[in-house]
Structures are given as C-alpha cells and as structure tokens.
Amino acid sequence: MKKASDLPIKQYLDVLKAKIFTLKNISWKSPKVIGGSILLLLLMGSGIVYLNSTTSAVYVVINGEKVGLLESQKQAGAIIDEILSEKGAPLGVAAKTHDSITFSSVRIKNSEYTALSKSTLEADISYYVDGAAVKVNNEPIFVLAKAEDGERLLKEFQEYYAKPSEKNQVTSVSFEEEVETEPVEVPLDQALSYEQALEKLKQGNLQKIEYTIQENDSWWLIARKNDMKTKEVLASNPGANEDTILKLGKKITLEKVTPYITVVCEGVRTDIETIPFDVVTKTDSSLSSGQTKVKQAGSDGEKEVQYAYVQKNEKVVTQTVKDEKVLKTAVSQIIEKGPQQVTVAYSRGSGSTVSGVSWPLRGSITSYYGYRHSEFHTGIDIDGDQGDPYTAAAAGKVVSAGWSGNYGYTILIDHGNGVMTRYAHSTKLLVSAGARVTKGQTIGLVGSTGRSTGSHLHFEVIINGDTVNPLNSLR
C-alpha cells in the first residue's frame, strides 16, 4: 500500500479530506481534527498557488534537440502542417520533411514560458519534395517539383516550336537528344515550378567562356570561331564596340547560349509571299540623253507557296517547294529613257538573268529593286545585324574594295562575261582589290556606312554596266 506522501497532491487531499470528514466518532474539537483541517487547508492553498503560477506545455523536439515550447501537441502539429503547406505553395505542392519531430509534455512556470515562434520553427526544419528529374542524354538538367508534370512539360516545349496550325501542318515532332523524366526526391530549394522549368528550357543554357585574344583576331573572327554573332560577342563584354582595340593575350568573356533540348519538327507550311515586280527599260528617242520617265507603274504580285521543311528549334534546316500558286500577277514597271543612256541590249526585266548566283546573306528583303517613290533603287536590301558576315554570290575577281560615297564601304566583284555584283554599306571589308574569291567565301561584314538608315546589305547584280533585278538571278 502506498504511503500518503507517495500520492499525487490532489489525490492525497481527497484521501485526507475523506478521512477527516468520515471520522464520525472523533470530536471536532479534537486536536487531530483541528490539525488535519489546518493541514488540508495549507495543502489546498499550495496546490492552487502551484496551478496558478505554472502552465502545461510541450517541447517541440527536432532530431533529438529541443527547439522551443508551444501550448500543446495539437497546436504544434497544426503549425508544422501550415509551414509545410506554405513552403511548397510557390511550387504547387506541399513540402515534406524527413526530420524526426516529437513532443515532450512539461509543466513550467508562467514567467518562464515563451512560445516558439513560427519563423524559428520554420528555420529549424529541412524540406524536400517528390519531384521529377528531366534528363538529357542521361544527364539531369533540373528537377520539377511535381513528378506528374514531367510529360506535360516536354509536350508543351515541343508545341512551343512546332506551332501547328491550319497553315502549318506538322507531321512529326521529336527530340534530337534522348530525353526522359525520372521520379526523385530533391531538397525544396533545388526544385523548379512548372513555369520556371518551361522558361528555363526556352531560354537555353547560358555558358560563360573565357577567351584569350590571339594574333590577327577581330571581333568578327572571334564570333566565327565560337559559332556566335558579332553582336553577341560584344554584348558579352559591356562597353566594347567594333572599334575597341583587341590586345594580344587579353582575356574577354563569351556568353554563349546553347539549347538544353533540340526539338525536331517536320511538316508542310503554306506561306503567302510577295512577287516583286520587274522593271523593264525601253528606249524613247524623244527623250533627251539621261532623261527617264515612268510609263507604267509597277505593282507587286502575290503567290501561295507550300514548303516541306525540317526545323530544329526555331531554325529551318531544310526547305523545299512542294507547290506554288500565283494569287495576284505582278505588273511590270516600264521606264523610258533617252537613247544615249542605253549601253547594251539588256533590260532590267525578267530576261536579264545570271545563272549560278547565290544569296550573299540570308535575311528578309527590306527594300526591293526598282522605283520606290521618286527614287530608283538599283539593288535589293537584305536585312542583317551589324557584323553579320556576307559571302561572294559567285566566284570572281575583286575590282574594288573601299569607300564609295553613298554606298559606304563597298566591294565590287567581276565574274566575267560582263557580269558584276556589288555589296554596299559594309562595316568591314575582308578582301582587297585584285583578290580572287570563290563562291560562298566570306568577303565582308554587314554594316550601315554611307547613306543608310540601319544595318543591312545592299546587293546589286550588274550586266554589261546596267543593274538588273537580283531576284531574277538568285537561287
């Protein structure tokens, strides 16, 4: 049998009270009764004081270490659940933890109780998510926070480049690399949301490379060596421009973006294209030497062209014409001029063509051959960025290479048989007069020198001294 001193206070008081008030045969004036009553009152008072001066609480124990006090295990559990939910919310998931979190009940003086703050508890917990690693050629590139988003992400990335529509019938879409997703656990701060992952794929992999200037290097040559554009090399080095002197041995930075994944699309695309009008020159003996007039205004036509293509990301690598249908016929511009201005029997019409001439630069045409408003444009303008390389349209000998008034820095090449080509507004010339060039050889860099409103290549085809429409000869 337990002694009274071994019993808890409340239980002991109840026992004592029962004994005192059930001793019917003992007089209330008995010293024992009086003493017992006083003891009871003292014990009850001290119990009340103890209860009022202390509070019940739980220690939150993380991985065996007490991190703080909270009112109850229920409150602590609710706060932890709330923290896990909030930490994972930006990624669209509830975070998880492998931490061992236990609770230890305690009664503590009111003056010593300080509740554990949510921020402190949050900082003491480590977090993870069940995500999906996206792997390219068996190498992980990042981890998605939600494992079930893996396949959806890859499909949307394919559609970003494929862009199927009524005018673009996509027949197949695939990845050039081996791409897969794999379920993994990952620390919360290393996981990406769906939106972050998609944007990362679109932006590509930015690599910073240190390059040491070598003998005879130029900004253009450095770009060519590293499969970059001149403007990209300059952008990697703030404050630099094409006139910045490169010092042998100096180190510069190259920021090169490469795709994480290559999307290969095949299909048939239908485009509506402009048919530039021809310019036909006729001799009018009633006009004085050097005088010209427009007898008939020209107007561009329109055609529907169907292409079979193969595309890698945004770049079309092969393209062949499947079908072509004229929607609107172009109307030739007829120009009459005085007889002394005619030096050969060629016109600027569709009959003036040269075989074997290739595009010197790939880009959109920003200005066509012929009259535009009140001025006659003697070539075509091909859009290009400052520093883009252009090539010789055919093999030949460089007649001149240098400054040429409104043309700016210009190259004139003689291809024989009365055929010449001119390349104007260059920022830099890479050949000199007298040099022999081959078809496709890089001869200069696109610029905006001379009379020019922006970077582009002005390209002319000249037959026996007369300019003709380059589009009739380019292939």
The answer to whether 125 and 131 have CB atoms below 8 angstroms apart is no
Share of the chain above pLDDT 90, in %: 49
The answer to whether 409 and 426 have CB atoms below 8 angstroms apart is yes
The answer to whether 279 and 332 have CB atoms below 8 angstroms apart is yes
Taking residues 156-167, report their average pLDDT: 94
Give the residue among 262, 240, 266, 274 at the shortest CA–CA distance from 366: 274
pLDDT of residue 20: 52
More confident residue, 105 or 223: 105
**Residue 28 pLDDT > 80, yes or no?**
no
**Alpha carbon of 342 to those of 107, 338, 450, 470, 471: distances in Å?**
112, 8, 28, 19, 22
Top CATH class of 264-342 equals: mainly beta
Model confidence over 448-468: pLDDT tens digits?
Answer: 888 887 889 999 999 888 888
Among the residue ranges 192-196, 227-231, 435-439, the one predicted with the least confidence is: 227-231
Residue 315 to residue 305: CA distance in whole angstroms:
19
DSSP label at 378?
Answer: -
Taking residues 362-379, report their average pLDDT: 80
Superfamily of domain 205-258: LysM domain (3.10.350.10)
pLDDT of residue 99: 95
**Residue with token string 């026992």:** 15
More confident residue, 111 or 32: 111
Among the residue ranges 46-50, 186-190, 374-378, the one predicted with the least confidence is: 46-50
pLDDT of residue 431: 92
Phi, psi at residue 100, to the nearest 5°?
-85, 110
- Three-state SS string over the chain comes to CCCHHHCCHHHHHHHHHHHHHHCCCCCCCCHHHHHHHHHHHHHHHHHHHHHHHEEEEEEEEECCEEEEEECCHHHHHHHHHHHHHHHHHHHCCCCECCCCEEEEEEEEEHHHCCECCHHHHHHHCCCEEEEEEEEECCEEEEEECCHHHHHHHHHHHHHHHHCCECCEEEEEEEECCCEEEEEEEEEHHHEECHHHHHHHHHHCEEEEEEEECCCCCCHHHHHHHCCCCHHHHHHCCCCCCCCCCCCCCCEEEEEEEECCCCEEEEEEEEEEEEECCCEEEEECCCCCCCCEEEEECCECEEEEEEEEEEEECCEEEEEEEEEEEEEECCECEEEEECHHHCCCCCCCCCCCCCCCECCCCCCCEEECCEEECCEEECCEEEECCCCCEEECCCCEEEEEEEECHHHCEEEEEEEECCEEEEEEEECEECCCCCCEECCCCEEEECECCCCCCCCEEEEEEEECCEEECHHHCEC
Among the residue ranges 164-178, 216-230, 399-413, the one predicted with the least confidence is: 216-230
Residue 229 to residue 390: CA distance in whole angstroms:
12
Superfamily of domain 352-475: Glucose Permease (Domain IIA) (2.70.70.10)
Q: Are strands 139-144 and 128-136 parallel, antiparallel or unpaired?
A: antiparallel
pLDDT of residue 59: 93
pLDDT of residue 241: 86
> 227-261 burial, b for 16+ CB within 10 Å, e for fewer?
ebbbbbbbebeeebebeeebeeeeebebebeebbb
The answer to whether 264 and 458 have CB atoms below 8 angstroms apart is no
More confident residue, 453 or 184: 184
pLDDT of residue 64: 93
**Residue 184 pLDDT > 50, yes or no?**
yes
Q: How would residue 117 be classed by pLDDT, with cut points 50, 70 and 90?
A: very high
> Could you tell me the residue ranges of all domains in the chain?
1-126, 130-203, 205-258, 264-342, 352-475
Identity at 112, one-letter amino acid code:
E
Model confidence over 291-342: pLDDT tens digits?
Answer: 778 888 888 888 999 999 999 998 888 888 899 999 999 888 887 877 643 3
Give the residue among 459, 463, 465, 290 at the shortest CA–CA distance from 369: 459
Among the residue ranges 18-22, 82-86, 109-113, 122-126, the one predicted with the least confidence is: 18-22
pLDDT of residue 199: 95
**Residue 46 pLDDT > 60, yes or no?**
no
Give the residue among 85, 179, 67 at the shortest CA–CA distance from 132: 179
* Nearest-10 Cα torsion for 34, 35, 41, 45: 160
